[in-house]
């Protein structure tokens, strides 16, 4: 582990676990990433170097400023799409962890006019509204990746006060109050998308109400039921849960 992170060793262990859990659950593959706001400096975030999440270890975690620059100028190649993370931390002081994924199940909702809605209780943390961001609206033809701060800022504006934003033809980004919360959203969002799609084949379907979401959101990120899920995912992935 990098010596400067020694005092937040447990947070680094959990961030590594989140990488491996998201890979094991099929939420990220060769691509996708997860970050936390730096507990030692709210104007920085911690993210792996450019590496598939399945392979991330403590040695691969580096700090970045919110504009996406590595704090350690000698750090290895970063993710091209790291700007997603800094722009959200910059705009949302309530957010302490971010996941970006290309999960197949959500993709139909990024390219159609049918909104993704919370339809299962386990996905309630995704929030009532899930906006869709189209990079082409502001930036014309691109490679669809968020590769600079302007694009990251535009995505963060699109996210607004929501928890999840879909990205047209690309994937989703989820923002959470805590690492465990955002991992939970990232795991249940694709399941929710799949169930909504199945249900829509049956006809009209019901989604969770704003009131139901508010009631469910009263669970603290470190409540026993959250910790239970975290321990389960970590055990399945064979990683140290850090708790």
Strand boundaries in the chain, DSSP class E: 33-37, 44-48, 61-65, 97-101, 132-133, 164-167, 171-176
Min dist CB 85 to Mn ion, Å, is 12
| Whole-number Å distance between alpha carbons of 19 and 101 | 11
Total number of residues that touch Mn ion (CB under 5 A): 1
Q: Which is nearer to Mn ion, 145 or 219 (CB)?
A: 145
Of the listed pieces 61-69, 74-82, 151-159, 217-225, which binds Mn ion according to CB under 5 A?
74-82
Residue 36 CB-density burial (10 A; 0-12 exposed, 13-18 middle, 19+ buried) = buried
Distance CA 153, CA 156 (A): 5
Stretch that binds Mn ion, among 36-44, 76-84, 127-135, 199-207 (CB under 5 A): 76-84
- The site map against Mn ion for 26-65 (x = CB under 5 A) is ----------------------------------------
- Indicate which residues carry an active-site annotation: 81
Q: Please, what is the minimum distance in Å from the beta carbon of residue 183 to Mn ion?
A: 17
Restricted to residues 110-169, the positions that interact with Mn ion (CB under 5 A) are: none
3-state secondary structure of 50: coil
Q: Which stretch binds Mn ion (CB under 5 A): 60-68, 73-81, 134-142, 214-222?
A: 73-81
- Per CB under 5 A, contacts with Mn ion among 161-220 are none
CB 13, min distance to Mn ion, A: 25
Q: Considering beta carbons, is residue 117 or 163 the nearer one to Mn ion?
A: 163
| Sheet-wide strand order for 132-133 | 61-65, 44-48, 33-37, 97-101, 171-176, 164-167, 132-133
Neighbours of 162 (CB within 10 A): 16
What are residue 211's DSSP bridge partners? Answer: none
- Residues in the site for Mn ion, rule: CB under 5 A? 81
């Amino acid at each position: 582990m990098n010596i400067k992170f020694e005092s937040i060793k447990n947070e680094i262990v959990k961030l590594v676990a989140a990488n491996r859990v998201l890979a094991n659950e099929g939420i990220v593959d060769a691509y996708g990433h997860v970050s936390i706001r730096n507990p030692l400096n709210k104007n920085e975030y911690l993210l792996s170097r450019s590496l598939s999440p399945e392979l991330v270890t403590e040695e691969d975690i580096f700090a970045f400023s919110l504009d996406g620059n590595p704090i350690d100028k000698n750090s290895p190649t970063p993710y091209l799409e790291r700007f997603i993370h800094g722009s959200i931390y910059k705009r949302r002081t309530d957010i302490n962890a971010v996941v970006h994924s290309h999960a197949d199940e959500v993709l139909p909702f990024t390219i159609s006019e049918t909104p993704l809605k919370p339809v299962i209780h386990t996905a309630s943390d995704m929030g009532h509204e899930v906006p869709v961001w189209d990079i082409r609206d502001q930036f014309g033809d691109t490679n669809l990746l968020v590769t600079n701060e302007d694009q990251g800022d535009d995505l963060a504006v699109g996210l607004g006060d929501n928890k999840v934003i879909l990205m047209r033809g690309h994937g989703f980004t989820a923002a959470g109050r805590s690492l465990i919360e955002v991992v939970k959203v990232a795991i249940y969002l694709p399941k929710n998308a799949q169930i909504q799609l199945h249900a829509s084949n049956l006809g009209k379907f019901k989604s969770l109400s704003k009131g139901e979401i508010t009631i469910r959101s009263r669970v603290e990120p470190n409540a026993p039921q959250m910790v239970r899920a975290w321990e389960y995912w970590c055990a399945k992935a064979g990683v140290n849960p850090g708790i």
